[in-house]
Amino acid sequence: MQQDFILIGAPVDSGASQPGCLMGPDAYRTAGLVQTLQNLNGKVIDRGNVAPRPQQEKPHSNRALHHLAETISWTKALSQAAESACETGFPIFMGGDHSLSLGSVKGVADYAAKQDRPLFVLWLDAHPDFHTPYTTQSGNLHGTPLAYVTRQQGFDGFPDIIHPVDPKNICIFGARSVDPAELKALKENDICIYDMRAIDEKGIVGPISEFLRQVSANNGLLHVSLDVDFLEPGIAPAVGTTVPGGVTFREAHLVMELLHDSGLVSSLDLVELNPFLDDRGRTARLMVDLTASLMGRTVLDRPTLSF
pLDDT in tens, 159-193: 999 999 999 999 999 999 999 999 999 999 999 99
The answer to whether 227 is a known catalytic residue is yes
Q: What superfamily would CATH give domain 3-300?
A: Ureohydrolase domain (3.40.800.10)
pLDDT band, very low/low/confident/very high, at 2 (cuts 50, 70, 90)? low
Catalytic residue among 182, 227, 278, 289: 227
272 is catalytic: yes
For residue 142, indicate whether it is catalytic.
yes
pLDDT at 281 > cutoff 50: yes
| Catalytic residue of the set 125, 182, 232, 257 | 125
List 67, 142, 223, 260, catalytic entry: 142
Is 229 known to be catalytic? yes
Catalytic annotation on 127? yes
Mean pLDDT over each residue of the chain, to the nearest integer: 95
Q: Which of 66, 98, 223, 260 is catalytic?
A: 98
Catalytic residue among 67, 127, 223, 253: 127
Active site includes 60? Answer: no
pLDDT at 274 over 70: yes
Q: Where are the domains of the chain?
A: 3-300
Reply yes or no on whether 66 is catalytic. no
Q: How confident is the model at residue 262 (pLDDT cuts 50, 70, 90)?
A: very high
Residue 72's alpha-carbon distances to 58, 79, 101, 159, 298, in angstroms, are: 11, 11, 12, 8, 40
When pLDDT is averaged across residues 15-24 and rounded to a whole number, the result is 96
Assign 54 a pLDDT band (cuts: 50, 70, 90): confident
Q: Where residue 211 falls among pLDDT bands split at 50, 70, 90?
A: very high
pTM: 0.96
pLDDT at 302 over 70: no
